[in-house]
Amino acid sequence: MRIAEVIGSVTLSRVHPTLVGARWVIGVPFSLKALREGSGPDGEDLVIYDDLGAGVGGRIGFSEGAEAAAPFHPKKKPVDAYCACILDQVIVSPSDS
């Protein structure tokens, strides 16, 4: 699971039949360095399936790849990133190295 900040939403004019009514957000992932420093997200933005109602500026935990489609099992959905949680707070402990 990775952590991202929501920067917007996506509206589709056409969608795969299994995804009708789905909500999509644009998220920018954080690197561990950015989380430790308390700076902004520094990854490449991506589109994430969201059925939790994440808002702009919020931090979310998301899964990618096969894990992103797991919540829909046994149904098959063409999803590559899934919002698994909305985060209230993120605390990163300093590394021992």
Side chain identity at residue 38, one-letter code: G
Contacts (Cβ under 8 Å, ≥6 apart) of 13: none
Model pLDDT, residue 57: 96
pLDDT in tens, 12-65: 899 888 888 889 999 999 999 999 998 999 999 999 999 999 999 999 999 999
Whole-number CA gyration radius for the chain: 14
- Nearest CA to 21 out of 56, 50, 64, 61 is that of 50
The CATH number of the structural domain formed by 2-87 is 2.40.50.220
Residue 36 near residue 94 (C-beta atoms within 8 A): yes
pTM of the model: 0.87
